[in-house]
């Protein structure tokens, strides 16, 4: 077999492994983000009642860009 052909096949196989690893890491990150969002949403629902007596306009200009 020609060495350039072997080299090309090995590079393609390595690229496939890298894609599998990247997909696994991406899924893990997405699961972590989903968990964080669900936690924040749950905390907001639990803590909504203490804010019922707050004056109008409080929290209206909340900057959530971080």
Query: For the whole model, what pTM was predicted?
Result: 0.47
Q: Model confidence over 38-62: pLDDT tens digits?
A: 888 776 555 555 666 777 777 667 6
59: left (phi over 0), alpha (psi -120 to 50) or beta: left
The residue among 14 and 61 whose pLDDT is bigger is 14
Q: What is the pLDDT of residue 50?
A: 61
Give the residue-averaged pLDDT of 8-17.
85
56: left (phi over 0), alpha (psi -120 to 50) or beta: beta
- pLDDT above 90 covers what percent of the chain? 15
């Amino acid at each position: 077999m020609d060495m350039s052909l072997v080299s090309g096949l090995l590079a393609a196989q390595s690229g496939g492994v890298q894609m599998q690893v990247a997909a696994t890491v991406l899924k893990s990150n997405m699961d972590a983000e989903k968990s964080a969002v669900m936690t924040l949403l749950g905390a907001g629902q639990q803590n909504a009642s203490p804010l019922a007596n707050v004056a109008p306009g409080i929290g209206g200009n909340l900057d959530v860009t971080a």
